[in-house]
Amino acid sequence: MTQRNPQLSTYEASLKYDISTRHFRHLLEEKKLLEGQRHKISESKEIWIIEESSIIRYLKNRPKPGPRPKT
């Protein structure tokens, strides 16, 4: 039996991981750091469904906030 990778909407992910829906969309659309699919639900509305494993991978490897240390 294969195990499915859980999927979350940007709203569900924002509640679970305390990251804004806007930031999730930024990571999906512009940075391409998360795996997900865009679904059009009406003429003017769409939602993103994100693979939860990609969120976990991002959180483990995301850059620390603030300026980079000088070398």
The amino acid that residue 31 corresponds to is: K
Cβ burial of 10 (10 Å; 0-12, 13-18, 19+) is buried
pLDDT average, residue stretch 32-56: 96
Cα separation, 31 vs 25, in Å, equals 9
15-37 pLDDT, tens digit each? 999 999 999 999 999 999 999 99
Contact predicate 48/37, CB 8 Å: yes
Q: What is the DSSP letter of 64?
A: P
Domain limits, the chain: 7-61
3-state secondary structure of 23: helix
Average pLDDT of the chain is 92
Q: What is the pLDDT of residue 71?
A: 76
